A = this chain, B = another copy of it.
Amino acid sequence: MRNLKLTVEYLGTNYYGWQVLPDKPTVQGKLIETLKIILREDVKLIGASRTDAGVHAFGQVANFKTFSDIETERLKRALNGLLPPDIRVVEVEEVPLSFDARRSAEGKRYRYRIFNREVASPFEYKRAWFFPFPLDVERMREAARFFVGVHDFTTFSKTDRSQSVNPVREVNAVYVEKEGNVIEVTVYGRSFLRHMVRIMVATLVKVGEGKLDPDSVKLMMEAKDRKVAPFLAPPEGLYLEKVYYGDYPY
């Protein structure tokens, strides 16, 4: 048996997120369907991150086990020949059987893009959060520092009542950068709770607008209550940029 690792880019606009859903197009669903055409078998495809509907990826990683002896380069070409243009497989590698795209991940990098100009951009439609009011990047940076470290992120996550998830997470770095009309928030973390990056970004935007003090992020974190940060940045600004395996810089 072989274990194959896929590195996948996708524009999430036309998908109901990564994870397979009945009767809805999803990225995982499209990949499984296409792999079935090529390999003539149903594969169990494990993705590193369950990105939400409308979220994009530059470096999603997935793996599956197969008895097929197809060459990795041939599989890559076959996949890209059959997949729609908004999903591309940029790499196929054979990896040890122990590799699991989700469990073996050491850390992830997400990037959130905000298009900050009075008038929206035709080129950023569904590819960034269009935010027309002034944002103070320095204030956003100050606030971002409070996210770094090991914290209980209950305030900054969607409570998942079906499962008892440990709300303690480690965020290793948050960068806020501005270039032209685009503000990018880059977040490095070992793992993330549901909606965590989008709630963090929405909170930073409130700070950048002047509606919250940078320090208040610390108090909100301590409150451990989602109701004190009832914000959510839209999915179209979020990109899963990289999943790290053995090369996480933190």
Contact = CB atoms under 8 A, between A and B. Distances in A.
Residue with the greatest number of chain B CB neighbours at <10 A, chosen from A56, A80, A88? A88
Contacts of A90: 119
A85 to B, nearest CB: 5
Nearest to A91: B119
B86 A125 contact: yes
Contact of A87 (B10, B88, B122, B127): B122
Contact of A119 (B10, B89, B123, B127): B89
Residue with the greatest number of chain B CB neighbours at <10 A, chosen from A9, A10, A89, A119? A119
A141 interface: no
A120 B85 contact: yes
Contacts of A125: 11, 85-86
A230 B222 CA distance: 68
A85 B119 contact: no
Contact of A122 (B9, B120, B122): B9
Interface residues of A, number: 19
A216 interface: no
Contacts of A120: 80, 85, 88
Interface in A18-32: none
Contacts of A56: 122-123
Nearest to A86: B122
A76 interface: yes
A104 interface: no
Contacts of A89: 119
A220 B9 CA distance: 40
A127 B127 CA distance: 13
A159 B56 CA distance: 43
A122 B76 contact: no
B80 A122 contact: no
Contact of A121 (B9, B121, B123): B9
Interface string A60-85: 00000000000000001000100001
A88 B122 CA distance: 6
A81 to B, nearest CB: 11
B88 A11 contact: no
Contacts of A119: 76, 80, 88-90
Nearest to A90: B119
Closest 5 CB pairs of A and B: A11-B122, A85-B125, A86-B122, A90-B119, A9-B122
